[in-house]
Structure 1
Amino acid sequence: MPQPIPDARLVVRQPEEAPSFWQPVPANGFVRCLLDSAATGAETPFAMGTQTVDPGCYVREHLHDANEEVILVQEGEGEARIEGATHPMRPGTIFFLPRNQPHSFHNTGKGPLTFVWLMLPGGLETFFARIGRPREPGALPPTPFPRPENVAAIEAETVFGRLPS
């Protein structure tokens, strides 16, 4: 029988136990950073969480030059814009985004758009924490707030990615 990786450990988190952060405009909404290599001790670096985007809001176009990303839509309606094409986002839709693939997500529905994200390697969890504001379960959303002025430096420091050239 294969042996477990020495530093890896079982982690079980209930829905509101994960670190969570309100997000600035234009996405608004919030993220939950469910798991990452620091929490699990996993040998393969990764980060996994959810993002909820408010109606009429969006995740701006960006790419990840050091990460591959998987998106799985859980709730709501929207559209992903990738390579000039628009792809519907509805529960069960899944995307694999290779490195350097510009993409954006737009909530076109009347309710929240929520998707699971998986980043290989991680870095997105740190980015969300640095640009957002801590969120407590059951708290009312804050008044919309802007991204930090040094967001480009935060992106570079967290291996998040960059805006397309």
Structure 2
Amino acid sequence: MSIKKSPESWAPNADQDLGPVLILEPEEGKNFWQPQPANGHISVRISPDFLDVQTPFSLGTQTLPAGGYVREHSHPEHDEVLHFIRGTGKAVVDGEEHAIVPGKTIFVGRNRRHMFVNSSQDELHWVWFIQPNGLEHFFEEIGREMVVGGEDPTPFPRPENVLEIEARTAFAPQPADQRKPD
């Protein structure tokens, strides 16, 4: 990861407050295998842990294998954007199903229940953005670090204290009537 600061002489106004620039190569960032039921992996690409941003947010990618799903959940203080790049499946937002295809973008505001299901035989891959940040800490705590050339450890169970991890990162309590994939 390389964080770059431009020389002051590059600024249109030398008194201007310049923010950082972060350039990540494909293998950089923080990358984690994810436990059941999602399986697959995530890559945290931008986080306040990496650099100083004026408004805390995080951005990354997630990949679900065939049959994987992100269980229904909500974020109490967070707005989330998901942009699907590869694969097909379905999103369920507040009980309403939406087909996932490459190029689809979904915005999910705070306290909106949502889940994502890979119902295809191929990987489902998307970019996620969440503000304020916190989701990246959840992924790190429940996942296992990816090592270049290492073995895929999936499937593996979620940690026993997953509800405590959710509560202190970016999640509302799990709903009693939590939906499951069909």
Q: TM range, normalised to the smaller chain?
A: over 0.9
Which stretch of the first structure deviates more once superposed, 153-162 or 141-150?
153-162
* 1:15 corresponds to: 26
2:68 to 52, 57, 63: 57
1:107 to 102, 118, 121: 118
Q: CA deviation at 1:108?
A: 1.1
Q: TM-score, normalised by structure 2?
A: 0.85
1:1-165 paired onto structure 2 within 5 Å? 3-5=16-18, 8-165=19-176
Count residues in correspondence.
163
Q: Separation in 1 of the partners of 2:132 and 2:50?
A: 14
Q: CA deviation at 1:38?
A: 2.5
Contact residue 37 and residue 43 of structure 1 kept, 8 A: no
The 1:34/1:161 distance shift into structure 2, 3 A limit, reads farther
Q: Which amino acid aligns with 1:90?
A: V
What secondary structure, in the 3-state scheme, does the structure 2 residue paired with 1:45 have? coil
- Structure 1 residue runs of 5 or longer lacking an equivalent are none
Q: Separation in 2 of the partners of 1:128 and 1:55?
A: 20
Contact residue 67 and residue 161 of structure 1 kept, 8 A: no
User: Which is greater in Rg?
Assistant: 2
Which stretch of the first structure deviates more once superposed, 42-51 or 139-148?
139-148
Q: TM-score, normalised by structure 1?
A: 0.93
Contact residue 23 and residue 131 of structure 1 kept, 8 A: yes
Where does structure 1 differ by over 4 angstroms across 4 or more consecutive aligned residues?
none
Which stretch of the first structure deviates more once superposed, 37-46 or 111-120?
37-46
* 2:8 corresponds to: none
Q: Which amino acid aligns with 1:14?
A: E
Q: CA deviation at 1:15?
A: 1.2
Q: Which amino acid aligns with 2:86?
A: E
Q: Which amino acid aligns with 1:149?
A: E
- Structure 2 residue runs of 5 or longer lacking an equivalent are 1-11, 177-182
Q: Separation in 1 of the partners of 2:127 and 2:140?
A: 17
**Superposed CA RMSD:** 1.4
Q: Which has the higher contact order (CA 8 A, sep 6+)?
A: 1
Q: Which amino acid aligns with 2:17?
A: P
Instruction: Give me the identity figure in percent.
Output: 43
